[in-house]
């Protein structure tokens, strides 16, 4: 059987995503690199309004935001899982995080042409920023959804404490992601 690739269409039913992830082989480094490169396409489009340098900066900042978010949020999530009494399956967690990054990258790459159109043709930079936030939010939300779906196979994942953890982690990662991109992306007034 051939290895699952980043470019393969996902499984037909979202309900089976958890099972598919749990059976999948560990993520290959190139798959993660490709996922981050996909999200960089969105950054390129986001910065297109202000020239080549801005495109390069935004292209680097969008995937960097995902890397920082993952490094800061996932350990916190693991601690939260342990406290909530959810079993800590490192393999399932790694696969789910990888799947989340891939989904987010693929969605952002898909939105890149629309972002490019909006970045180049919108009358005001504020409008571009609004659409940028919308795109990044949507990509991140779908990535987070994939992360939770991937962990559905874990025992005790349906406990009330685990449900509370999901809600808390969603709010935390949304705020953290917003803060990171706020600091990294010149479009939102961050470092240039």
Partner 1 sequence: MSAAPLLHPAELLRAPAQAVRRRCEPAQQAASARRDLLTIALGGLLFGAAVGSFRGGVQVPIAALKIPLATLLTLAVSAPGFAGFAGAFGRRWSFRETLSIALGAGARASLVLLALAPVLWLAIDLGVGHQGVRWLATVAYALAGLSALGLLLHAVGASRGRLATTLSFVGLFLIVGAQSAWLLRPFIGDPHDANVPLFAHGRREGGLVGSLLDFGADERESGSGY
If one asks whether residue 121 binds partner 1 (CB under 8 A), the answer comes out as: yes
With CB under 8 A as the rule, give the number of residues binding partner 1. Answer: 33
- Residue from 19, 60, 76, 142 in contact with partner 1 (CB under 8 A): 142
Using the rule CB under 8 A, give the single segment among 59-67, 71-79, 106-114, 170-178 that binds partner 1: 106-114
Which residue is associated with the tokens 């043709």?
Answer: 121
Of residues 14 and 171, the one with the C-beta less far from partner 1: 14
The minimum distance between CB 102 and partner 1, in angstroms, equals 9
Which CB sits closer to partner 1, 110 or 190?
110
Q: How far is CA 57 from CA 84, 106, 187, in A?
A: 39, 20, 10
Beta carbon of residue 14, minimum distance to partner 1 (angstroms, whole number): 3
Residue 58: CB minimum distance to partner 1, A? 18
Q: Which of 33, 79, 130, 175 binds partner 1 (CB under 8 A)?
A: 130
Q: In the complex, what is the shortest distance from the CB of residue 107 to partner 1, in angstroms, rounded to a whole number?
A: 4
DSSP 13: -
- Does residue 37 interact with partner 1 by CB under 8 A? no
> Who contacts 16 (Cβ-Cβ below 8 Å, separation ≥6)?
none
Tell whether residue 40 is a contact of partner 1 (CB under 8 A): no
Nearest alpha carbon to residue 104 among 64, 146, 67, 132: 146
Give the residue among 178, 170, 184 at the shortest CA–CA distance from 136: 178
Answer yes or no: are the C-beta atoms of 157 and 21 closer than 8 Å.
no
Distance CA 32, CA 166 (A): 24
Is 112 one of the binding residues for partner 1 (CB under 8 A)? yes
Question: Does residue 23 contact residue 3 with C-beta atoms inside 8 Å?
Answer: no
Helix (H) or strand (E) holding 18: helix 17-23
List the one residue from 49, 58, 95, 106 that touches partner 1 (CB under 8 A). Answer: 106
- Residue 1 in the binding site for partner 1 (CB under 8 A): no
Q: Which two tokens stand for residue 144?
A: 């987070």
Phi, psi of 158 (to 5 degrees): -95, 0
Q: Which positions lie near partner 1, rule CB under 8 A? A: 9-17, 103, 106-114, 117-118, 121-124, 126-127, 130-131, 138, 142, 145-146
């Amino acid at each position: 059987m051939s290895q699952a690739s980043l470019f393969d269409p996902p499984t037909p039913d979202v309900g089976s995503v958890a099972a598919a992830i749990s059976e999948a082989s560990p993520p290959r480094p190139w798959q993660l690199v490709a996922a981050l490169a996909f999200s960089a396409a969105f950054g390129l489009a986001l910065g297109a309004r202000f020239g080549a340098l801005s495109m390069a900066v935004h292209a680097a900042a969008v995937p960097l935001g995902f890397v920082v978010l993952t490094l800061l949020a996932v350990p916190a999530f693991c601690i939260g899982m342990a406290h909530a009494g959810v079993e800590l399956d490192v393999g399932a967690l790694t696969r789910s995080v990888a799947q989340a990054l891939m989904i987010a990258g693929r969605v952002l790459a898909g939105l890149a042409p629309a972002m490019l159109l909006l970045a180049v043709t919108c009358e005001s930079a504020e409008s571009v920023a609004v659409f940028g936030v919308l795109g990044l939010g949507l990509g991140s939300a779908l990535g987070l959804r994939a992360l939770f779906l991937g962990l559905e196979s874990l025992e005790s994942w349906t406990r009330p404490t685990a449900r509370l953890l999901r809600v808390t982690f969603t709010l935390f990662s949304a705020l953290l992601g917003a803060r990171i991109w706020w600091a990294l992306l010149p479009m939102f007034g961050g470092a240039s």
